[in-house]
Structure 1
Amino acid sequence: MTRTAPSAPGRPVADADADADAERRDTGDGTWHAGVRRAIRAGFRPEPWKRGPVLAALASLLGLLLLLHARIPNRIGNAGSLVETFLPWFGLFVPVLLTGALLRRSASAVVALLLPVVAWLSLFGGLLGDKSRPGGDLTVAGHNVGADNPDPAGTARDLAASGADVLALEEITAEARDTYEKVLAKTYPHHTVRGTVGLWSKLPLSDTRPVDVKMDQGPLAATKPADVKMAYNRGLRTTVATDRGPLAVYVAHLGSVRVNPRAGLSTGQRDAGAQALGRAIAAEPNERVVLLGDLNGTMDDRAFDGITSQLRSAQETAGDGFGLSWPTAFPVARIDHILVRGVEPRSSWVLPATGSDHLPVAAGISW
């Protein structure tokens, strides 16, 4: 008659002794190997794969959202543009879901998380490193100086000290225009202003004209202090005379974006301006072009396809990190851009904060 172990009814004593010997071997120097064996054995059990089905489903949906964001329709509340504006931040859901998967000991959820991880890295992994290189023939900078900037003179001095050869400003009010012109005059002998945008340059300017980005004054005025006057025009084009030949420079401030709980993302004016700007750049005969501006959107947003199909982002090509520029207190998006055609970005960076709610951006370019 076969004896059974009291602690495991119905199980032979020999088997129990073998398990005890195996457990003793797993202690000491063999702890790590034992842990690996236990993990492998656990992986072949059905229980971990059955746990956490909701977590696994959420991980899969997150991966599909990252992969197929361009397929999200804009018909309802511009949902597609809204998602694309904050697309990099969806990566924060990965550690949250991973924590839940580990707590639930869900193998299926952990495996499902591979999809959003790979998708996020394919979209934004290139921005994690420093792609800047030394050198550059020209330094350009752009800044939305803010209509309600309490210290335009200080902002102008900071920008003049940045070392930029060409400086674009947006959201210049009638009250602050004289201040910017006086403070920047010594560093930049050449400048032009059209409405609320302007360009200051150490090099001569010519062939300057406004660019219609289809922005009316009403909605903008509603977001500014009552005593601040904003002009209609928000775009210009000029030619900078360099030692290497002419450079066409565009400065633009596209319409603001509003988020309404009922209507979703309101982007009509901005999108119309982006289309108009894209047409102007397409008609530009100069092969070397730089666009500086507050475009009120990220380059992941499909609204800018007409621009990004013609120009490259200096930040994505030669920047260090995401280069977030708005709002100053806690930047969540890069809506201030430097885009180029026919020249090579060597570096791109964000300048220190001024009195504006935007951070200035700069880039070094070469021929």
Structure 2
Amino acid sequence: MEQNSQDGAARRDTGSATWRAGIRRAIRTAGRPGPWKRGRVLAALALLLGLLLLLHAQITDRGGLGSLVETFLPWWGLFIPVLLAAALWRRSASAVVALLLPVGVWLSLFGPLLTDKSHAGSDLTVVSHNVGADNPDPAGTARDLAASQADVLALEEITPQAQGAYEKELAKAYPHHTVRGTVGLWSKLPLSGIRTVDVAMQGMVGPLAEHLSAEEKKATPRALRATVATRQGPLAVYVAHLGSVRVNPRTGFVTSQRDDGAQALAKAIGAEDNKRVVLLGDLNGTLDDRAFAGITSHLRSAQDAAGDGFGLSWPAKFPMARIDHVLVRGVQPDSSWVLPATGSDHRPVAAGITV
């Protein structure tokens, strides 16, 4: 009898302990945030990223902040997989849903660049290359460019010391050429109407400046315009090397010289009488940058229209931005691509066009 009483008490105690443990588990479960409440910080970061991509044009350009953000705008997309991995680890439904905003905006901005829009057939191949003031082998660079079989070849950042090497190596393939200051144009077709274009360079800075005297820095042209005589009629070709940008701890991302040059170049192109225009050059910025709105109102990018991918050109060892461009008006871009690296810190860019 006593044994039965003890067994009953033990069962009651066991049942009571199980009941209490169940209550504690229920309380702990109820106290845990659900999948929609977890990862609120991640969700906020995802929304901020989406808003940055969506409203980048509204970011202040004080200290060059807006230009800096826009220069590397596609790379902000790298935060998307990082935030997604963190959201999945936290099992946060709210963060995953919030990521739909940056994903959608990034794809709307850059998705078209991920497809190959090139097609065969073109009248002319044009190439632009910032050959680099510190290029240790200008002759080798010239031979590489000649091997591209471009019909029209634009060079930027030509130093007085290297100019002879380019002219010598390119003479056989290109019977027509002109050099104005630090930019030059070589062509298999006749050139005419050659003139300097003012791109508002008031004192030169950057690697090229080290190769020039004080007077040369002030007076050396950085852009030219010429007419190329194609079978289909005259083609206006501009070659430009806009001012460098600098990152300064006190003043931020300094772009004033480049921005002034972009405005001057846009004005010159806007006044161009020829309906068919090609701009080749190093603009020291990507076309996402608001500084080039004046230029892109007159011209469109061959890479955007007929390229495959982003066409990144700088720096040559690990390209992160397309600051070297082929822009056109009144002609049809058929293809656009980046050539292999030379001795320069930029990669050459090329495009096939139908005039």
TM-score (norm 1): 0.86
- Percent pairwise identity: 73
Q: How does 1:198-217 map to 2 (within 5 A)?
A: 198-217=184-203
CA shift in 2, pair 1:343/1:94, >3 Å = same
**Separation (CA, whole Å) in 1 of partners of 2:326 and 2:273:** 19
Q: 2:42 aligns with which of 55, 67, 84?
A: 55
Match of 2:350 in 1: 362
Q: Report whether the alignment pairs 1:183 with 2:172.
A: no
Counterparts of 1:115 and 1:224, CA distance in 2: 46
Q: Deviations over 1:257-299 (max 9, x none)?
A: 0012331110010000000000000000000000000000000
1:307-342 alpha-carbon deviations (Å, 9 max, x no partner): 001101000100010000000111110000000000
Structure 1 position 99 matched with structure 2 position 85: yes
CA distance in 2, matches of 1:205, 1:90: 43
Query: How is 1:186-335 mapped onto 2 (pairs within 5 angstroms)?
Result: 186-220=172-206, 224=210, 232-335=220-323
Do the aligned partners of residues 218 and 363 (structure 1) sit closer, same or farther apart at CA in structure 2, a change above 3 Å counting? Answer: closer
Q: Distance in 1 between matches of 2:165 and 2:113?
A: 37
Q: Tell me, what secondary structure is at the counterpart of 2:210?
A: coil
| Counterpart position of 2:152 | 166
How far residue 232 of structure 1 moved from its aligned partner, in angstroms, is 1.4
Report Cα offsets for 1:103-125 as digits up to 9, x if no partner. Answer: 11111101000000000000000
The aligned counterpart of 2:60 is 73
Give the corresponding residue for 1:40. Answer: none
Q: Distance in 2 between matches of 1:307 and 1:134?
A: 27
Deviation of 1:73 after TM superposition, in Å, equals: 1.3
Tell me the distance in 1 between the aligned counterparts of 2:76 and 2:65: 14
> 1:151-173, CA deviations, whole angstroms, 9 ceiling, x for partnerless residues?
00000000001010000000001
Residue 87 of structure 1, aligned match among 61, 64, 73: 73
TM-score between the two structures when normalised by the length of structure 2: 0.89
Count residues with an aligned counterpart. 333
Contact 2:157/2:208 (<8 A) preserved: no
Could you say if the C-alpha distance between residues 223 and 345 of structure 1 is closer, same or farther in structure 2, counting changes exceeding 3 Å?
same
Cα distance in 1 between the residues matched to 2:348 and 2:185: 14
- For 2:337, the equivalent position in structure 1 comes to 349
Partners of 2:208 and 2:71 in 1: how far apart? 23
| SS at structure 1 position matched to 2:129 | strand
Deviates more, 1:78-87 or 1:284-293: 78-87
Q: What is the rounded CA distance, in whole Å, between the counterparts of 2:131 and 2:59 in structure 1?
A: 34
Contact 1:168–1:292, Cα closer than 8 Å, also in 2? yes
Q: Which residue of 2 aligns with 1:35?
A: none
SS in structure 1 at match of 2:167:
helix
Output the amino acid matched with 1:117.
V
Counterpart position of 1:29 = none
Whole-angstrom CA distance in 2 between matches of 1:197 and 1:159: 15
Distance in 1, Cα, partners of 2:114 & 2:35:
33
How large is the Cα RMSD of the aligned pairs? 2.3
Kindly provide the amino acid, as one letter, of the partner of residue 277 in structure 1.
L
